[in-house]
Amino acid sequence: MTAENASRRTDVDKALLGHATYRSLGEQRLSPAEERFEKGRRTIGLFLAPLVTIVFLLLPMGIEPQQQVLAGVLLGVIVLWVTEAVPIPIGGLIGVAFIVILQVVPADDALAPFGSSTIFTFIGAFILAQAMLKHGLARRFAFRILALPRVGQSTTGVIIAFGGITAVLSAFVSNTATVAMLLPTALGILAVIAKLLQERGLVAEDFDPLRLRVGAALMLMLAYGASVGGLLTPVGSPPNLIGRGLIEEATGELITFGQWMVMAIPICLLMFVALAIVLLLLNRPEIRRIEGVSQYVADQRAAMGPLSRAEKNTLIAFGVTVTLWILPGVIAAFAGNDSAVYEAVSARLDEGVVAVLGASLLYLLPVDWDKREFTLRWRDAAEIDWGTILLFGTGIIFGSLLADTGLAETLGNAVATGLGLSSVITITIFGVLLAIIVSETTSNTASAAVVVPIIIPVAVAAGVNPFVPALAATFAASFGFMLPVSTPQNAVVYGSGAVPITKMIRSGASFDVLGAILIIVFIPLMVAVLGLGAA
C-alpha cells in the first residue's frame, strides 16, 4: 500500500466521519471533470430556482391562487434540492419562509410540524447513534462478527459479514455514519488481502490495491448493505420516518415500530441475498481462501480491551429505547390493537418520547461519578445531523400544505387522468419507479419528501387507498444505487478510490431493478398479512 494511498484514505476517513446532510465542494475529493460538473449544477440551481418559481406564478394555470403560489414555491425548492445550490436543509427553509411571506398560510401553521413527535424520534435516535460511534460500541460489534468461526478465512465470508454488520447497524445508526465508521476497517482488511496476493505472486509488483475486484465487492457491499439495512426499522433512514408520517397524516393509520420491522424483514433479507450473489458474480475476488485477516481482527479486538463503562451505559440506553419501541407491538400481537392494555401502553410510549428518554439516559448514567462525568456531553449532541432534522421538518410542512390547500387533490387528479392510473398496482409501480429515479439524482431524504406527497393525492384521485402506494414509494426512496450522488454512503465508498464508477453503475442498475421488483411484490403482500391499510 503506497504512502500516497494511505494518506488519501486518512484524509477521506476524516472528511467522512464529519459528513452530514450536505458537503460543499471544498469538503469533497473530486476530479477536475467532476468539480466542473458540480460547480455548473449548483450555479444553474441558484438562478433556475427563482426563475422557475416566478414563471410558474405568472402562468395562467386556472387553479386557486393559494395552490399556485404553493406549487411555484415547491417547484423552486425541488430545484434547490436536486441541484444542491444551497445546503439541502436550507433549501427547504427558504421555501418555508416564502410560504409565509407570500401568505399561503400563517407562520404558526407553517412551522407547526417542527413540533411533531417524529422530529423528536429523529433527535433521540441520532443522539443514541452518536454515543455508539463516540465510544466505539458499533466498531466493537463489527469486529465481534468478523471474529466468528470461518468468517475471516475466505473473501466471500468477509464480504458477506461486512454486509451483514452494516445492515444491522444501519437499522439504528445513520447509514452514512455506519459506512464511514467501518470504512477504515474494510480498507485495513483489503490491505491484508492485497499483501497476501502479492506474496503469492498473483498480482504484479506495482499493482494498485485500490483496483482489486475484491475491494470493489467489499466497498459496494458496505454501501448497499447500509441502504438495505436502513429499511429494517422506522428510524433506520430518514425517508422511513418521512413516509410514515405522511401516510399517517393522509390515512390516520400509524405503522408501529414492530409492524414496520415485520414488514421489512423479508424484503431486506431477499435483497441482501441478491446483493451478495450479484456483487460476487460481477466482482469475482482474485483469491478465495485467505490467511491473516483472522489475526488482524484478533489484534484489533485485543487493542480495544474489555467493555468500558461508557460502552456499557450506551448499551443500557440503547436496550431500554429499543425495548420500549417494540413493546406496544408485542402487546398488540397478544392482546390486539383494540385492547385497553395496548391503548394505554401505546399512548404513553410514544416513539418520540421514548427516543428522547433513551437519549436522556446518556446524560444520567455516569462514567466517573466523582467528576460528575456522564456518558455524553452536550457538545456531542450538538454534533448530530441537525440538517436532516430540518429537512424532515420542511418536508412534512410541504406535505401538509399540499393537502390543506387542495393542491394535492388538483395534482392527483391531473396525474391520474394524464397517465391513466386507476388501480393500486399501477399507482404502486409508478410510485416505486418515480422514487428510484428521483433518488438517483438527489438525496433519498429529499426523494421521499418530494415523491410521497405526489403519490398520495394520485391514489386519492383514483379512488384508491394511498397506504400501499405511498409505503412502496417510501421504501423505494432508499433504493438509489447507481451513482455516487444517489446516497451519501455511495459517495463514501466511491471516495475510497476502490470503486470505479463503471462498476458502481453496472452493479447499481441491477439492484435498482431487483429492489423495485421486491418492493412491488412484497409491500402489498406484507401489508395484507399484517392487516394494515384496511381503512
The number of residues in the chain equals: 535
The rounded distance, in Å, linking the Cα atoms of 351 and 336 is 19
Nearest CA among 211, 204, 222, 174 for reference residue 18: 174
Q: What is the pLDDT of residues 471-504, one digit of tens each?
A: 999 999 888 788 776 777 777 777 667 787 778 8
Q: Are residues 87 and 75 in contact, defined by beta-carbon separation less than 8 angstroms?
A: no
Of 383, 413, 436, the residue that ends a domain is 383
- Does some domain include residue 262? no
Write out the three cell numbers for 118: 417524529
Q: Are residues 286 and 213 in contact, defined by beta-carbon separation less than 8 angstroms?
A: yes
- Does some domain include residue 445? no
Q: Are residues 76 and 4 in the same domain?
A: yes
- Does some domain include residue 122? yes
- Model confidence, pTM: 0.67
| Predicted local distance difference test score (pLDDT) of residue 316 | 92
Q: What is the pLDDT of residues 364-402, one digit of tens each?
A: 999 888 888 899 988 888 877 787 677 767 777 876 787
| Predicted local distance difference test score (pLDDT) of residue 7 | 40
Can you tell me which residue has the cell 462478527? Answer: 145
Provide the number of structural domains found in the chain: 2
One-letter identity of residue 75: L
| Predicted local distance difference test score (pLDDT) of residue 49 | 93
- Does some domain include residue 459? no
Of 383, 409, 439, the residue that ends a domain is 383
- Does some domain include residue 189? no
Low pLDDT (below 70) residues in the chain = 1-31, 34, 118, 138, 142, 152, 177, 199-210, 290-293, 333, 336-338, 388, 392, 399, 403, 408, 441-443, 485, 495-496, 533-535
The rounded distance, in Å, linking the Cα atoms of 379 and 514 is 42
Q: Are residues 79 and 129 in the same domain?
A: no
- Does some domain include residue 161? no
Q: Are residues 349 and 370 in the same domain?
A: yes
- Does some domain include residue 279? no
Q: Are residues 9 and 93 in the same domain?
A: yes
Of 332, 351, 383, the residue that ends a domain is 383
Q: What angle do CA 279, 280, 281 make, to 5 degrees?
A: 90
Alpha-helical (H) ranges within 285-308 are 293-304
| Predicted local distance difference test score (pLDDT) of residue 468 | 93
| Predicted local distance difference test score (pLDDT) of residue 535 | 54
| Predicted local distance difference test score (pLDDT) of residue 387 | 74
Please give the mean pLDDT across all residues of the chain. Answer: 80
Q: What angle do CA 511, 525, 222 make, to 5 degrees?
A: 30
Q: Are residues 3 and 71 in the same domain?
A: yes
- Give residue 315's domain range: 113-135+308-383
| Predicted local distance difference test score (pLDDT) of residue 303 | 83
Residue 4, burial from CB neighbour count under 10 angstroms (0-12, 13-18, 19+): exposed
The rounded distance, in Å, linking the Cα atoms of 382 and 358 is 17
Q: Are residues 4 and 87 in the same domain?
A: yes
